Amino acid sequence: MTTAIAEILEGFEFLEDWEDRYRYVIELGRELEPLNDDERIEENRVHGCVSQVWLSKVIQNNTEKGPILFYKGDSDAHIVRGLVAIVLAQYSGVPAKEILETDIESIFSKIGLKEHLTPQRSNGLSSMVQRIKNDASAALS
């Protein structure tokens, strides 16, 4: 994914209306690299999401930074796919240690995301983040 989290945050700053922000989230989801069918497996499915969500990871070991986690993701729901894009913009290609230190909740608060999601989508978003943090912990152990 080429859109960095800073660019996404900047995009949200220019959009005041939540209808426009939802369209922006959907557009971010359209930019995701599609998952292959062999990546849409139970092992990659994120539990706790009402929609179907998959996160496929590759871990590369770096002698200086430790394990670095790279993700691809997808969902069967447009807005959720956009949420996947936001999460991956923050976490994909990042060292495991940095993933564990990142407070993505502050990013969500900054753009007002949690206040404008249904409780089910908010829970799904938390499940995605927790899955990535669990992967980072496992990569470090």
One-letter amino acid at 124 equals G
Choose the catalytic residue: 46, 49, 53, 80: 49
Please answer whether residues 110 and 86 qualify as being in contact, where contact means their C-beta atoms are separated by less than 8 angstroms: no
Query: Known catalytic residue: 49?
Result: yes
- 97-103-105-107 Cα dihedral, nearest 10 degrees: -110
Paired residues of 57 in beta bridges: 71
Residue 116's CB is within 10 A of a number of other CB atoms, namely 13
Question: Which residues does residue 74 pair with via DSSP β-bridges, in sequence order?
Answer: 54
Phi/psi for 139 (5° steps) reads: -65, -30
Catalytic site positions = 49
